[in-house]
């Protein structure tokens, strides 16, 4: 796996800067990010049964993810504002307990655009905010929840083309 060692967000004098993408071609771009929220099995059961006092947890988390993706440039200083073409969020159960007996919910967030720079940060913000929204809605019944493995799964488009995460044991949870 090769890594680009050029730090493009710093000028020659070492000052932070937004990368100039004006000479790059607009191309279709897509990124997929994921993360897991670990919780007690009873909490997951209540989420799935719609028995959380604050409302429909996954619908709220879905909306939070889309809102976060749309506002990424406001949250991360050197990100470009992108006209997102779409954001999709999918939640799946993680029924296998971890070492602490916690099950979980895994989120996959997909962000798409046609632009001059990638949408990795938008996908990562979407996944992160979805998990934080679930945490917020369930914290009164399960303060021990924990967020794990927020990561980029793959990106497509641009000069570098396709990048996919290698299968790692921790990413399979």
Residue 99, domain member (yes or no): yes
Give the span between the Cα atoms of 134 and 128, in whole angstroms: 10
Domain tally, the chain: 1
**pLDDT for the residue numbered 2:** 43
Residue 32, domain member (yes or no): yes
Give the span between the Cα atoms of 101 and 55, in whole angstroms: 26
**pLDDT for the residue numbered 9:** 60
- Name the β-bridge partners of 146: 38
* CATH number of the domain residue 50 falls in: 3.30.70.640
**pLDDT for the residue numbered 171:** 43
Q: Give the sheet arrangement for strand 27-39, strand by strand.
A: 84-94, 103-115, 27-39, 146-156, 163-164
Residue 107, domain member (yes or no): yes
Give start and end residues of each alpha helix (H) in 37-148: 41-49, 57-70, 72-75, 120-138
Residue 169, domain member (yes or no): no
Q: Give the model confidence (pLDDT) of 91-125 as tens digits.
A: 999 989 988 889 999 999 999 999 878 899 999 99
> 13-16: which pairs have CB atoms within 8 A and are 24 or more residues apart?
16/77, 16/78
Residue 5, domain member (yes or no): no
State yes or no: pLDDT of 48 exceeds 90: yes
Inter-CA distances, 54 with 40, 47, 75, 137, Å:
18, 11, 26, 6
Q: Give the model confidence (pLDDT) of 13-35 as tens digits.
A: 666 666 666 666 788 999 999 99
State yes or no: pLDDT of 59 exceeds 60: yes
Q: Around Cβ 6, how many Cβ atoms within 10 Å? A: 7
Residue 87, domain member (yes or no): yes
| pTM reported for the whole predicted model | 0.84
Q: Give the model confidence (pLDDT) of 121-171 as tens digits.
A: 999 999 999 999 999 999 999 999 999 999 999 999 888 888 899 855 444
Residue 10, domain member (yes or no): no
Mean pLDDT of 67-90: 92
Give catalytic residue positions. Answer: 136
**pLDDT for the residue numbered 21:** 67
Which H/E stretch holds residue 93?
strand 84-94
Please work out, in degrees rounded to the nearest 5, the angle formed at the alpha carbon of residue 152 by the alpha carbons of 40 and 132.
40
Residue 12, domain member (yes or no): no
- Name the β-bridge partners of 148: 36
Give the span between the Cα atoms of 89 and 127, in whole angstroms: 8
Domain that holds residue 46: 27-160
């Amino acid at each position: 796996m090769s890594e680009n060692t050029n730090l493009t967000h710093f000028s020659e004098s070492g000052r932070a800067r937004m990368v100039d993408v004006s000479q790059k071609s607009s191309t279709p771009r897509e990124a997929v990010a994921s993360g897991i929220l670990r919780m007690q099995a009873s909490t997951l059961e209540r989420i799935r049964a719609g028995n959380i006092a604050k409302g429909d947890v996954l619908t709220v988390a879905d909306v939070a993810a889309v809102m976060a993706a749309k506002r990424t440039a406001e949250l991360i200083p050197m990100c470009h504002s992108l006209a997102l073409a779409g954001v999709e969020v999918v939640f799946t159960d993680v029924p296998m307990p971890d070492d602490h007996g916690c099950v979980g919910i895994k989120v996959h967030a997909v962000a798409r655009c046609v632009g001059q720079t990638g949408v990795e940060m938008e996908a990562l913000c979407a996944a992160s905010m979805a998990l934080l929204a679930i945490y917020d809605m369930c914290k009164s019944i399960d303060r021990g929840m924990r967020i794990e493995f927020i990561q980029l799964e793959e990106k497509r488009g641009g000069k570098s083309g396709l990048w996919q995460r290698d299968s790692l044991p921790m990413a399979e949870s």
